[in-house]
């Protein structure tokens, strides 16, 4: 479970990222965060795994107080929260399989990391994750030889290999063409339903958010202006979320 209690985030330059956020996400939910650029979508996502520190309030992830985590404790916590980035964050010259196995690096000693001595268990887990996202046949191809959609699937497989119950995604399909974006969203939906993974993603494609997510959280100027089922989102709500202030 992810629970925001009166959470605010103010950046060092004084910019308000989030203001008084109260939000609870139960295990197994598929939640999409929508809003204009700069509304606070990425800020909210990145608070969950401590990439952004909150300024005030409480943020609990499976009963762990994220704001209190520092150093080694924070790094250990992040192993249990998968993160998928817009830019894929892959090692281009490494194979797809190695990129996925890198999810296990934090649990390995330095010698094994330097020489890439992954265990049989690591390899099997990585291959299983690649199979779940439909690119098992690409396991021994270099990551930089894949299309954008395939690279994002590698990123998703890497997150699955962390064996976490929570997957965060920061604009995972914004760099993809419409057809490929739907294919990647299909992967998210299948993982959510088949594996009961909590999916929390921010997305600027409103139509994809409404089609795939069961719950929509709309943010405007760092505040939640709608939180409810995707089927209850109306044109009036969207007009309010995306209306430019005079």
End-to-end CA distance of the chain: 38
Strand partners, 32: 201, 216
- Domain range enclosing 35: 1-80+198-246
**Position 23 in a domain:** yes
**Position 240 in a domain:** yes
Reading phi first (left if > 0) and then psi (alpha if -120 to 50, else beta), residue 12 is in: alpha
**Position 56 in a domain:** yes
pLDDT in tens, 35-86: 999 999 999 999 999 999 999 999 999 989 999 999 888 888 888 899 998 8
- pTM for this model (two decimals): 0.90
What's the sign of the alpha-carbon dihedral 152, 158, 163, 169?
negative
**Position 52 in a domain:** yes
Count of structural domains within the chain: 1
The domain that holds 219 is classified in CATH as 3.40.50.300
User: Alpha-carbon distance 155 to 173, whole Å?
Assistant: 12
Q: Which of 84, 167, 83, 97 has the alpha carbon at shortest distance from 135?
A: 97
User: Alpha-carbon distance 58 to 144, whole Å?
Assistant: 40
The CB density around residue 121, as the number of other CB atoms within 10 Å, is 9
**Position 168 in a domain:** no
**Position 202 in a domain:** yes
Mark out the alpha helices in 56-212 (DSSP H runs).
71-78, 96-101, 110-115, 120-132, 148-161, 178-195, 206-212
**Position 20 in a domain:** yes
Which range, of 160-164, 214-218, 229-233, averages the lowest pLDDT?
Answer: 160-164
pLDDT in tens, 173-230: 998 999 999 999 999 999 999 999 999 999 999 999 999 999 999 999 999 999 999 9
**Position 177 in a domain:** no
């Amino acid at each position: 479970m992810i629970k925001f209690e009166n959470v605010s985030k103010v950046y060092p330059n004084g910019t308000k990222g989030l203001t008084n956020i109260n939000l609870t996400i139960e295990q197994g939910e598929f939640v999409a965060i929508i809003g204009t650029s700069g509304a606070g979508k990425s800020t909210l996502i990145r608070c969950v795994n401590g990439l952004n520190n909150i300024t005030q309030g409480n943020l609990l992830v499976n009963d762990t107080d994220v704001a209190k985590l520092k150093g080694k404790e924070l790094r250990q916590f992040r192993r249990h929260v998968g993160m998928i980035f817009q830019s894929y964050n892959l090692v281009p010259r490494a194979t797809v399989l190695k990129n996925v196995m890198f999810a296990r690096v934090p649990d390995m000693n330095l010698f094994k990391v330097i020489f890439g001595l992954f265990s049989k268990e690591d390899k099997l887990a990585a291959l299983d994750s690649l199979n779940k996202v439909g690119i098992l046949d690409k396991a021994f191809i270099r990551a930089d030889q894949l299309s954008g959609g395939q690279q994002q699937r590698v990123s998703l497989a890497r997150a699955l290999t962390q064996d976490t119950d929570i997957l965060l995604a920061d604009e995972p399909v914004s760099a993809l063409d419409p057809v490929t974006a739907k294919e990647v969203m299909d992967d998210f939906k299948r993982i959510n339903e088949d594996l009961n993974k909590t999916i929390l993603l921010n997305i600027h494609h409103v139509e994809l958010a409404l089609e795939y997510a069961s719950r929509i959280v709309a943010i405007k100027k760092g505040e939640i202006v709608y939180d409810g089922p995707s089927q209850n989102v109306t044109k009036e709500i969207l007009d309010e979320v995306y209306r430019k202030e005079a």
